[in-house]
Structure 1
Amino acid sequence: MNKPISDQRFYQLRMGKTTLRALHVLGIAGAAGGFLYGLDSALWRNWWILAMLSGVVLTIWEIWRSPLWLVQLKGICTLGKVALLGLCYPWPALAPYLFSAILLLSIYIAHGPSQFRHYSIKHRRVLRGKEIKG
């Protein structure tokens, strides 16, 4: 059984995650020109590094918080975004379209209904919290 956390600890964790998300979005915005307009990588490399580092930390955070994230649509879509991103390297001409698809998927996952984000492919139902049954 998980013991409840204090309000102060909850606030600290929430602000930490919000800060990471803000840095991630800032990095993505800064790197967008490279994908959408084919700018020289020196112009957006640091933004890209910020986006990737914050994205990795956010992913680790989510898995640490709940391993269910890996079977919920929010986790599966995140891994799908990474796969789409990987396709930019063998097919750079498709990078603007792949990047746009990643952005649209990100927005849909972030702002879509919680029943969609928390749906578990493995369990075929909506799962919230750390419940792991069946």
Structure 2
Amino acid sequence: MTKNIKTPLSPDFKGKRTTKIIIRSLHILTIAGTAGGIFFGLPFDNWAWFWYAAITTGSALFLLDALSNLIWFVQIRGIIIMLKIGLLLLVGIAPNWDTLIMVVAIIASGIISHAPSNWRYYSIWHRRIIRSSKDSKG
């Protein structure tokens, strides 16, 4: 079994798992608020803070994961997360597409969260499963 290599960008720290659980829980709440506002056709002002908070919490999770292991950027799990952040940033630009954007983001979240590790850790660059930057050599 290969150990993940720590990087100076975001080394492991005491409470990292707890921090991620708290941020992820807040992220789920804010996505629910954003989706509810969109699905029920509420005025943007009624759910705007949910949207801003969803982008903030999603970005925080992105930074914690990506900077802990830079190989994350070429793994399916990282690519899906970057896609979801991109989709969230599109909300409001073309309001007729907001419902579809949220549906795609939520389905992508469910799939990548529960996908087997050989899907999540697959590197499109290396064309094989990569669990750390050490695995990418050779």
TM-score bracket for this pair, using the shorter chain length: 0.7 to 0.9
Contact 1:37–1:96 (8 Å) recurs in 2: no
Aligned counterpart in structure 1 of residue 36 of structure 2, from 30, 33, 38: 33
Per-residue deviation, residues 18-40 of structure 1 (Å, max 9, x unmatched): 11111111111111122222211
Instruction: Provide the identity percentage.
Output: 36
- Is it true that 1:73 corresponds to 2:64 in the alignment? no
Q: Which amino acid aligns with 2:64?
A: W
Contact 1:72–1:120 (8 Å) recurs in 2: yes
Q: Residue 101 of structure 1 corresponds to which residue in structure 2?
A: 104
CA distance in 1, matches of 2:130, 2:123: 6
Per-residue deviation, residues 62-107 of structure 1 (Å, max 9, x unmatched): 1111011110001111122233334444431121112101100011
Q: Residue 82 of structure 1 corresponds to which residue in structure 2?
A: 85
- Is it true that 1:56 corresponds to 2:59 in the alignment? yes
Q: Residue 133 of structure 1 corresponds to which residue in structure 2?
A: 137
Per-residue deviation, residues 108-134 of structure 1 (Å, max 9, x unmatched): 001111110100000000111342324
Offset at 1:10? 6.8
TM value normalised by structure 1: 0.84
Q: Which amino acid aligns with 1:82?
A: I
RMSD: 2.2
CA distance in 1, matches of 2:56, 2:91: 18
Contact 1:28–1:51 (8 Å) recurs in 2: yes
Contact 1:21–1:58 (8 Å) recurs in 2: yes
CA distance in 2, matches of 1:117, 1:81: 15
Ranked by relative contact order (alpha carbons within 8 Å, sequence separation 6 or more), the top structure is 2
Aligned counterpart in structure 2 of residue 113 of structure 1, from 106, 113, 116: 116
Contact 2:55–2:85 (8 Å) recurs in 1: no
Where does structure 1 lack aligned partners over 5 or more consecutive residues?
4-8
Q: Residue 122 of structure 1 corresponds to which residue in structure 2?
A: 125
TM value normalised by structure 2: 0.82
